[in-house]
Amino acid sequence: MKVAGIALDAGTRSPIVLLRDASERRQLPIYIGQEQARAIISVLEGQTPPRPLTHDLMVNLMDEWGMVLERVVIHSLQDNTFYALLQVRQGEVKKDIDSRPSDAIAIALRTKSPIWVMEEVIADASMPVDRDADEAERKAFRDFLSNLRPGDFNQGGRFTKQDES
Q: Positive or negative, the Cα torsion across 122, 124, 128, 129?
A: negative
CATH number at residue 96: 3.10.690.10
Range of the structural domain that residue 68 is part of: 2-152
What pLDDT sits at residue 113?
98
- If you compute the radius of gyration of the chain from its CA atoms, what whole number of angstroms results? 21
pLDDT at 165: 45
Q: Is 71 exposed, middle or buried (0-12, 13-18, 19+ CB in 10 A)?
A: middle
Residue 133 lies in a domain: yes
Question: Contact, 99 vs 115, CB < 8 A?
Answer: no
- Specify the 3-state DSSP secondary structure of 51: coil
Query: What is the sign of the dihedral through the CA atoms of 96, 98, 102 and 107?
Result: negative
- Note whether 150 and 157 are within 8 A (CB): no
**Which pLDDT value is given to residue 99?**
97
pLDDT value of position 96: 98
Q: Which tens digits make up the pLDDT trace of 47-73?
A: 999 999 999 999 999 999 999 999 999
Q: How does pLDDT run across 119-133, given as a tens digit for each residue?
A: 999 999 988 876 665
In a domain, 159, yes or no: no
Is 164 within the bounds of a domain? Answer: no
Distance CA 50, CA 102 (A): 22
Residue 10 forms part of a structural domain: yes
Enumerate residue ranges in the chain where pLDDT < 50.
Answer: 163-165
- Whether 157 maps to a domain, the answer reads no
In a domain, 161, yes or no: no
Residue 119 lies in a domain: yes
User: Is residue 165 a part of any domain in this protein?
Assistant: no
Number of domains in the chain: 1
Are 70 and 89 contacting, i.e. CB atoms less than 8 angstroms apart?
A: yes
| Contact criterion met (CB below 8 Å) for 4 and 19 | yes
